[in-house]
Structure 1
């Protein structure tokens, strides 16, 4: 009989004692221990078993669980040498997973509270002869209000205190180390938090004579210069590394075996389309565990993994990105791929300046996957690695579609009315509705760094194009900024059905020197459609000129005027 599915259990002891569905990953312990690495940093997308793995390691090594029978029926217990390690080390285990604060002061306080929890757990150290009187004073006085000097040295001191008690150096486990980093970037306090965590990590992980070994996990590899500048003992394992490639996530063999166990063998191909696509090291066909477990439980397809997070950072980077970022994103949503360089070290405070950094972060987060990679020779810098990226799977594509729809949620009624007006060729309605949309969502698409009347239209209309594509993808193939005739059109809508018209849109910001009114700007946009022969791509696909509509969009700040050759302005 198949085991009961337990949803959301990230505690190893609960998994084993409740005897729920579990894919045995205990051999990670053997592989990690035998590697002899001092400090190991492992990055994987969210919901890929990082927290459960850290719980497993803690239960295996911690003196608290000496003599535990939790591992008796697992793969690690078959190794006699590993058995002797169980329950033999003091373990310091903490997580930054829930540190998602909007200010530096709140984030620092929660980091401090997580350290105070460790001190409270081992409060008995200050109650006997393990510590001297001055050390007991420090121990008892430590709080979230302590100064940076006291806090940043606190984990190193705890390692020493535990060593005195157990005569063994400590294993330190830090789960989701980068969650505060992402929130710091989104909420604008990156520099302060980076300085604080740099001091904390240096004291804890470098030159700590009471550290046996450590594991850190996260989604991204924050750049070494930002918070790891002095850590030369760091073994970095990213999604492209071969180490531990099958220790996080489910392999296809594990997934298909589970489907057989739960009488779902006929769903293998659909499950593969929905949830496969992740690649770690050389290991392809990795599935995200969260979606698989939920599918086994509910036996219906849904974007389970994509719905477990607000995806706020991904949305921010794309929504506020440049025209090129939005063009590339549209290409991905349309089922295509993009080519870019990748830097696995994420420089958060450079994300708004470096397009490749955005794709690097989305790759690390699991939203994109590597379709292919190649080495190219460049004229100036020698050789470079170019990655061809695509959306990971169908589940992720649904997540992105819903994200785009959410951009227009505050003006959904106006937006939908604009779509109706566009399909009906109702220029009056299009103008009325478009001006309402710009007033409610225009600045939402600006980067926020230096908003300007000149830059906002570019960002807005590319976000608008993405919204069109998601809403009308069943009726139109929508592309933007592609070559046609003698130039690049802004928006082209190729009908999927013979009864629908083809549509060309050209967006133009008013140039006061050449165009006295918005009507002049509209005429210039329409003339560009004619001069550049943008309709040629539609004509080449069998759509006659009589069934092609042309619209010129003129912007002046948040004011819009839309015109067509069939209507006088």
Structure 2
């Protein structure tokens, strides 16, 4: 049977009725029902099938007049007698926050009101039942057509679950998709405290000590328990991608599943001599798919991003599908404010080397500005890094991290290009900046760097006593797009020391660049800082490696940054200026 991808379809019933290709993940239902945890949180990267899994669970558990058994009879869950005992037995409240990406708390609350009203509308047959008191009916009608207050929203799931449990004589399943999307928006747009306080009360009312709750399941990208978001919810269990083997293959595709999808998607050809629709494109080979999309490790299992695989099968082309749809707002913010935390470790990642980092599963979004481990944790859980090894000692998790595959490597390049376009909207300016760098054109480089600083760079220094690190990451981010023709290294041994940035051509005969970065010390003028940097370049022979590699010409540049100002000089010019200054003195 040919596998036909249903791109963007996350409604289980619609997908099955359309006869679209479906990789059977229904055993997840039996695992969840057998799990003693009352509420389970599943943090996974975006586009890993979270919404479809919750939709499948909702249709399986949901009590309704329509018999949905034909949707499940050929799936794994149907051969699980313990799971089948729960089939269509419970009222279900299924809501999603994946599209709540707003810029203020007021608009976020409005979007939540809309989602709550939709839930109440789905179950308004309760108004015709005899289970609601007169005051409860008035409140229900108010939730349908009245002005829903903030407190109404906080208590909405608890109250509606009570009504449904009373009416059906069954406890209620509460399923919440992408719970953390509004929280990330709050962090990015300055209303983090308000949105966190709201959801703390919202989740507590619905999921803590709720006598009407049968089972709760939440999905998201991040686990943010230490923000007190789930304070007091001792009944919630987190399915970690680092250590939880029970649900390791529930989200995303295993390699065996990918191989099956590729095989089923290959055109059959059809009988000779008969006209037929154009055959679907030939999907790439498994080894090609592995290089582009493999690399994630969940609970010790190798997992592929299903969105990328399905798009690859549909188009027959190896392209960066996931990174073109995943939200990058938070990453863009991190690049603009701290160069994505660039350091020697980040540079090693871009060279394809693993790095060691401490991982905190209870991610504190506030710490992204200050704590390196918070940044590594975010990149891991968001799918921009993967683990190659994990160890835990005395409750502290240390992981070897790496860029998962070609697709995500392309993401880093494109993120910096996008960021560069924000600062230099005209494409010619970005091209001029790189041309100025490789041509040793200090005045043009200075003007364009300063324009970028003014537009997208925060002068606040998260590096504490080492402000050079902020600007060093800023410049390294620009140079990522030189990858391919040039090898860009930072703090690399050359001559008698380490240059801040070396741009070495991969083939001789092309220009090379030494770039030394400084921030003026106390009472030091920019010209004095430039001269000090120039003397360091010459005295320590930073250009030696470029000369040995056959780079020609070799440009020696120094740059000084102060707030949102930039000064760039050729080394000879900086040294000459220093000599003139001394002669005038």
Partner of residue 49, structure 1: 49
Partner of residue 519, structure 2: 509
CA distance in 1, matches of 2:462, 2:500: 24
Partner of residue 561, structure 1: 568
CA pair 32-129 structure 1, distance change in 2 beyond 3 A: same
Q: 1:281 aligns with which of 299, 302, 313?
A: 299
CA distance in 2, matches of 1:523, 1:163: 76
**Corresponding residue SS for 1:423:** helix
Q: 1:150 aligns with which of 145, 149, 152?
A: 152
CA distance in 1, matches of 2:483, 2:316: 28
Question: Is the Cα–Cα contact under 8 Å of residues 508 and 552 in structure 2 kept in the other structure?
Answer: no
Partner of residue 243, structure 1: 246
State the 1:128 CA deviation: 3.1
Does residue 496 (structure 1) correspond to residue 506 (structure 2)? The answer is yes
Question: Is the Cα–Cα contact under 8 Å of residues 559 and 566 in structure 2 kept in the other structure?
Answer: no
* 1:339-360 deviation line (CA, Å, top 9, x unaligned): 1100011111221111110110
Equivalent runs, 1:123-272 vs 2, <5 Å: 123-142=124-143, 145-240=147-242, 241-263=244-266, 267-272=285-290
Could you list the runs of 5+ residues in structure 2 that have no partner in the other structure?
Answer: 267-281, 578-585
State the 1:145 CA deviation: 4.2
State the 1:82 CA deviation: 2.9
Question: Is the Cα–Cα contact under 8 Å of residues 90 and 171 in structure 1 kept in the other structure?
Answer: yes
Equivalent runs, 1:539-558 vs 2, <5 Å: 542-543=548-549, 548-556=554-562, 557-558=564-565
CA pair 507-124 structure 1, distance change in 2 beyond 3 A: same
CA distance in 1, matches of 2:291, 2:449: 36
State the 1:462 CA deviation: 2.5
Equivalent runs, 1:314-393 vs 2, <5 Å: 314-321=331-338, 325-374=342-391, 384-393=396-405
Q: 1:462 aligns with which of 470, 473, 483?
A: 473
Partner of residue 40, structure 2: 40
Question: Is the Cα–Cα contact under 8 Å of residues 99 and 179 in structure 1 kept in the other structure?
Answer: yes
* 1:75-110 deviation line (CA, Å, top 9, x unaligned): 222233433321111111111111111001111221
**Corresponding residue SS for 1:555:** strand
**Corresponding residue SS for 1:85:** coil
CA pair 449-142 structure 1, distance change in 2 beyond 3 A: farther
Partner of residue 542, structure 2: 534
CA distance in 2, matches of 1:282, 1:447: 41
CA distance in 1, matches of 2:251, 2:378: 19
CA pair 19-507 structure 1, distance change in 2 beyond 3 A: same
State the 1:370 CA deviation: 0.7
CA pair 413-547 structure 1, distance change in 2 beyond 3 A: closer
CA pair 388-445 structure 1, distance change in 2 beyond 3 A: farther
Partner of residue 421, structure 1: 436
Question: Is the Cα–Cα contact under 8 Å of residues 92 and 173 in structure 1 kept in the other structure?
Answer: yes
Question: Is the Cα–Cα contact under 8 Å of residues 93 and 175 in structure 2 kept in the other structure?
Answer: yes
Does residue 305 (structure 1) correspond to residue 322 (structure 2)? The answer is yes
* 1:168-192 deviation line (CA, Å, top 9, x unaligned): 0101111110111111111111111
Moved more, 391-400 or 3-12: 3-12
CA distance in 2, matches of 1:457, 1:224: 32
Question: Is the Cα–Cα contact under 8 Å of residues 445 and 459 in structure 1 kept in the other structure?
Answer: no
CA distance in 1, matches of 2:345, 2:362: 21
Could you list the runs of 5+ residues in structure 1 that have no partner in the other structure?
Answer: 377-381
Partner of residue 403, structure 1: 415
- TM-score, L = length of structure 2: 0.88
* 1:247-289 deviation line (CA, Å, top 9, x unaligned): 11011001011111222586111100001111110212x1111
CA distance in 1, matches of 2:292, 2:254: 15
CA distance in 2, matches of 1:94, 1:112: 12
The alignment covers a number of residue pairs equal to 554
Question: Is the Cα–Cα contact under 8 Å of residues 373 and 387 in structure 1 kept in the other structure?
Answer: yes
**Corresponding residue SS for 2:64:** helix
State the 1:455 CA deviation: 8.6
CA pair 326-140 structure 1, distance change in 2 beyond 3 A: farther
Moved more, 156-165 or 433-442: 433-442
CA pair 167-448 structure 1, distance change in 2 beyond 3 A: farther
CA distance in 2, matches of 1:323, 1:288: 23
CA distance in 1, matches of 2:247, 2:61: 19
Does residue 108 (structure 1) correspond to residue 109 (structure 2)? The answer is yes
State the 1:62 CA deviation: 0.6
CA distance in 1, matches of 2:130, 2:190: 45
Question: Is the Cα–Cα contact under 8 Å of residues 445 and 568 in structure 2 kept in the other structure?
Answer: no
Partner of residue 30, structure 1: 30
